[in-house]
Amino acid sequence: MSILVTGGAGYIGSHVVRLLLERGQQVVVIDDLSSGLSARIGSAKLVQIDLAAETATESLVQLIKAESIDAVIHLAARKQVGESVTKPEWYFEQNIGGMAHLLEAMRQTKVERLVFSSSAATYGMPDVELVNEDFDCKPINPYGQTKLIGEWMTANAARAWGLRAANLRYFNVAGAGWPDLADTATMNLVPIVFAALDAQKNPIVFGDDYETKDGTCVRDYVHVLDLADAHLTALDYLERDQRNHSTFNVGTGKGASVFEVMSEIRRATKIDFDVDVQPRRPGDPPYLCADVSRIKNELGWVAKNNLAEIIDSAWQAKLGSN
Ligand code: UFG
């Protein structure tokens, strides 16, 4: 029996893979290595399949049978919000097309357990401080739309042929569980600030005139290792006969402002930098923080690491990779 992890060579996926391997599980990774790195997956088997290709369903069916796959964790997706706005068709083709092929292959092979990588981007601009899973989702970009449609797809498959799925809505993921699994992309706040410091530039703060505690946007930063652990917890949950929900926020329930993140980075790096405040970035909600009651009550999962631990681990990993 093996677990199939799509996108397993990526930043988040490789943390999931390592925890599964530590648990003694057989793991098969599908990754097109467009942003993933094969060195991250340890002893897991790597198969390069483009999930969006027309032939993907057939390749997946063969792989699932050959490797006796009995559950899937689906992380492979395009995930750049800005790019999704300029290339919406491609995002739908990649994220929705890829997922349709995967679900069809699971249906044909009767693999019924799926943990799906969803996102807090499904919420759009919630006007509450802590958003819960019943909030009316109104994603404001194609990336968030593809994640919400992905959740609809799992719900439809559950009705049609008995798929058992857990959709995990990730909040702001950062940190590193192991130095070699650091986030090497500079797409999110923490790695962007590190890159600015490397270049001896002041990091940028997008807007300090929001109606928040210090005027900067507040987010729920979750340690990537905690997030990876939530996948394993969700996988176990899918074994149960009685499951009341299929969608779960994965965050800490505690918000941190951009200024607070900057302070933690000053502390961890011992670099006393200034920031350049620039105008607001379009599409940024002032608050995006998780109500984590559901995942705590139903799955018994809580994040163990706080913001300081997230930043420390990210910085240690960054130093290790220099
Ligand atoms: N920010 C800055 N300066 C920067 C970069 C970011 O001030 O140089 C601010 C942003 O304005 C935002 C916060 O830092 O307020 C976090 O920004 P990120 O770009 O790191 O993350 P987002 O909150 O925009 O989005 C992230 C992921 C999405 C996911 C979302 C869910 O990139 O894919 O979290 O919460 F959907």
For 198-248, what is each residue's pLDDT tens digit? 999 999 999 999 999 999 999 999 999 999 999 999 999 999 988 999 999
Atom of ligand 1 nearest to the CA of 80: 33
Q: Which atom of ligand 1 is nearest to the CA of 206?
A: 7
DSSP 166-206: EEEEE-EEE--SSGGG---S--SHHHHHHHHHHTT-PPEEE
Nearest partner of 256 among 299, 311, 293, 302, judged by Cα: 311
- pTM higher than the cut 0.95: yes
pLDDT of 162: 96
Ligand 1 center to residue 188 CA distance, Å?
6
- Model confidence pLDDT, tens digit, residues 17-76: 999 999 999 999 999 999 999 999 999 999 999 999 999 999 999 999 999 999 999 999
Residue 208 CA to ligand 1 centre (angstroms): 14
The mean pLDDT of the chain is 96
Tokens at 281, concatenated = 């970035």
3-state secondary structure of 259: helix
